[in-house]
A and B are shown apart, each in its own frame.
Chain A
């Protein structure tokens, strides 16, 4: 591995995996909650909320990054509060890159989770109720396990998309080597620097391999889970 990949590629790879990983782990509970709200409850403004969640799909990523910068930048309302109370600065940090990626990939995750939730017969939850299961118990023993294929699909899609997130990350977290310079950012930088063609090609090939492996892995995982659920 180290023979093929030099320190800059390895660092970009490590950062990309870390950023995508952090982003899916933090957005998963949020995505499940949103999907549940959208399928199992009726509240005023539901349609508007639905549209708002899907906004990152249609907005330019740079615009999303800019809005995040306004909100979570050191002088932004959320950023100032986090800085004051927890000493956390998200802008221009790896965590910030993860936040930008999470916001961009959230709609993908919500869609996948929601689809699986809609496929669950609410009668099963009623059956669990008559068997003495309280709401949280019901969710963790019946609803969540049955949502697993959707959750996995959402995780994998969001993770794969997260590896390649560019616009929002570079706007909100900038392009700092070793901190926020993920694969696409490193690729972009290599293309911009003279004599960086070989590095750019290796980074592109690396992204390509990662993508293919991700797709194959996702398909395998999904089949296994579906087979288990289908008996």
Chain B
């Protein structure tokens, strides 16, 4: 369990964060810039001091102002991958990697040198100086260096933010491999929901220095607090399912989600694989009767659970075979269809507006 309840006052900003997350887990901290994400990580790492509160990693306090506990950064065994790689310029890649490893003798082993080098594909970089690496390579070395310090918790502060889109795609698979193969507990800070979707099992949402909601990613995606932070562009139910059939020619797959089956864009996953995806609310069309002769491949019968209206229109929550789906429609459309809770409705969305991500980790709490 990662148990955080801290207050930190800065000029013109106060962080008051409280949440408990399962441990080990891949925890994402999501929020707009300036919501206090980096401050939260610095407090967990010990680089900043809390004015009040406690931080417990797996039951052990690293900060507890009431008990007068403040474990120094260097003895917390909490790894940190910063936004910029912060590699030591006077040391080779190999020496950078060994830096933390040599200082972690006697700590419970998380990962060995050869294992990390292979996992992150660093074989050819070992003899080089950090200045001769590309941005993506640097971030991979920084990741390896943090891992080799044998941390019990790994903090990642938007490690992809300094990279362009291509480089991000180059590093993301390594982060997924880290989560799946080393199963190291991590806290991943991001304002890119795509990254959260691919990496996190547990989601903490920060808004203006406060944790407004936290929980399993699929549950949090349905909550208004998350939608307020994510905005209409990123509002949409996160679904998790199992691949039942693969259509390699079309780059799509059938996914069993709850009692229903969806067809989604997905490459490189075999039947039986667990997949996660987000169906964006603005991509979902609602119909009050079955439609025929349309290109849309997903037309799922469901029941309206709730309708809420705001300045962006109406947000309709639908129960589709035990699975919630969100749809964003205009107020005018809502009036015309006269949608209300309990009505039958069909949720329509295109295959190409979805993108599944293989996600092998079991949901928090589920037996592995």
Contact with B along A119-155 (1 / 0, CB 8 A): 0010110111111111001000110011010000000
- Interface residue? B228 (CB, 8 A): no
Known: A132-B103, A132-B104. A127 touches B80 (CB 8 A): yes
Q: Is the CB of A131 within 8 A of B149?
A: yes
Q: By the criterion CB–CB under 8 Å, are B89 and A137 in contact? A: no
B89–A134 touching, CB < 8 Å:
no
The residues of A that contact B132 with a CB separation of less than 8 Å are 231
Task: Give every chain B residue within 8 A of A131 (Cβ-Cβ).
Answer: 74, 79, 99-100, 103, 145-146, 149
CA distance A121 to B83 in the complex (A): 14
* A129 interface neighbour in B74, B130, B131, Cβ under 8 Å: B74
> In residues 233-264 of chain B, which contact A (Cβ within 8 Å)?
none
> Nearest chain-B residue to A144 (Cβ)?
B90
* A-side interface mostly: helix
B88 at the interface (CB under 8 A from A): yes
Complex contact B82–A132 (CB within 8 A): no
B129 located at the interface, meaning its Cβ lies under 8 Å from any Cβ of chain A in the complex? yes
Whether a CB of chain B sits under 8 angstroms from the CB of A229 is yes
- A121 to B84: give the CA distance in the assembly, Å: 11
In the complex, what residue of chain A is closest to B84 when comparing beta carbons? A123
B144-166: CB near A (< 8 Å → 1, else 0) gives 01100100000000000000000
Is A231's CB under 8 angstroms from B82's CB?
no
B57 to chain A, nearest CB (A): 14
Question: Is B348 on the interface with A (CB-CB < 8 A)?
Answer: no
The residue from B79, B90, B100, B130 contacting A146, defined by CB atoms under 8 A apart: B90
B168 interface residue per 8 A CB criterion:
no
Let me know if A130 and B73 touch, CB within 8 A. Answer: yes
Q: How far is the CA of A124 from the CA of B89 in the complex (A)?
A: 9
- Please determine whether A231 and B89 come into contact, CB atoms closer than 8 angstroms: yes
**A127-B80, A130-B45, A130-B78 known, 11 other contacts, Cβ within 8 Å:** A127-B88, A130-B76, A130-B79, A131-B79, A131-B149, A132-B74, A132-B75, A132-B77, A133-B103, A145-B90, A231-B130
Using a CB–CB cutoff of 8 Å, the interface residues on chain B facing chain A are 45, 47, 72-80, 82, 84, 86, 88-90, 99-100, 103-104, 128-132, 145-146, 149
